[in-house]
Amino acid sequence: MAVRRYHLTFPKELVTEPVIYYLGKDFNVITNIRRANVDQDGGWVDLEIEGDEEEIERAVESLKRKGVGVDPIERQVIE
């Protein structure tokens, strides 16, 4: 089992969708929100995802396909 921490950025269009609920339903992962701020213009969620490494990868891919910005909790580390 692996644990990964992500900073997710939600565009306006996705705010009304239960994106994180589906993550736990469609993939064999456990999600745990630590901090978030979402309003009608979009928002962000700091999320922990626990599961097999490949399963986490698949979950992350699905988030990206939906248009969610997926970064590590550290944001951008390439300078």
Partner 1 sequence: MRRIKALRCRECGSEYPIEPLHVCEYCFGPLEVEYDYDALSKLVTHESIAKGPTSLWRYYDLLPVDSPLHECVDLGGGFTPLVEATRLGEKLGVRRLYIKNDTVNPTWSFKDRVVSVAVTKAKEFGFDTVACASTGNLANSLAAHAAKVGMRCFVFVPADIELSKVVGSLVYGPQLVAVEGNYDEVNRLCVEVASRFGWAFVNINIRPYYSEGSKTIALEVLEQLNWKAPEHIVVPVASGSLLTKVWKGIKECYRIGLIESVRTKVHGAQPSGCAPVVNAFKLGASMPKPVKPQTIVKSLAIGNPADGIYALRAIRESGGVAEEVTDEEVVEAIKLLAETEGIWAETAGGVTIAVLKKLIRQGIIKRDELTVALVTGSGIKTSEVVCESLREPIRIQPRLKAFEEALQKLQL
Integer Cα distance of 40 and 27 in angstroms = 27
| Contact map string, positions 7 to 36, toward partner 1, x by CB under 8 A | x-x------------------------xx-
| Contact map string, positions 40 to 79, toward partner 1, x by CB under 8 A | --x-x-x-x--------------------xxxxxxxxxxx
Integer Cα distance of 67 and 30 in angstroms = 21
State the burial class of residue 68 (Cβ atoms within 10 Å of its Cβ: 0-12, 13-18, 19+): buried
Binding site for partner 1 (CB under 8 A): 5, 7, 9, 34-35, 37, 42, 44, 46, 48, 69-79
